Amino acid sequence: MKKICPICNTEFIAGKGNVKYCSPECRRKAEYARHNEWATRTNYAEKKRVEMRQRRLKEAEAHREHLRQMHDERIRQIQEDNERADQELHERAEAGDNEALMKLAEKAGDRAGYYKYFALYEIEREEKDFGRRSTRTVNGISVYDPDFAELVMKSIEETGQCISKINGQGIKIDAMQI
């Protein structure tokens, strides 16, 4: 039967079976073309895979960068808040606020300063807010004792405990956290 070779467009007489090409040469050309097409297709698929992987990596990196920026921003915010609070505390201390002076002494690890301003703050608060004398004692020492800080520190050292009482009702607490 007559056929047209798809490679060279020549008409030829095909024998038995599924003969598609006019000659072994055209058959080889066809195989070569199929191989080329396959290589191009697979190369394209590989290229797409690589592109996709790169895009995913880029997106993941962008996401990490976003998280890093949010974290940095949060840290900066906390630092700013701390600095503002610290500045406010210093301003209050400079204005003679006993509570601020007590907190600054505590931050600085200044026990003597802490107990001194603790007593002053306690006295001031009771007198100002309630118009009465404070009944607070620490380890039995009244906040009105002129040597309160010194005696409290000595007592904590000796007894290993720190008991703060108001109207005789007491709680055991950690030193410097009255």
Site for Zn ion, rule CB under 5 A: 5, 7-8, 22, 26
Tell the smallest beta-carbon distance from residue 35 to Zn ion (Å).
18
We find the least distance from the C-beta atom of residue 13 to Zn ion, in angstroms, to be 12
Q: Which lies closer to Zn ion via its Cβ, residue 1 or residue 95? A: 1
Measured from the CB atom, the residue of 6 and 140 that comes closer to Zn ion is 6
Nearer to Zn ion by Cβ, of 22 and 141: the residue is 22
DSSP string, the chain: -EEE-TTT--EEE--SS---SSSHHHHHHHHHHHHHHHHHHHHHHHHHHHHHHHHHHHHHHHHHHHHHHHHHHHHHHHHHHHHHHHHHHHHHHHTT-HHHHHHHHHHTT-HHHHHHHHHHHHHHHIIIIISS----EETTEETT-TTHHHHHHHHHHHHS-EEEEETTEEEEE-TT--
CB of 9 vs Zn ion, minimal distance in Å? 7
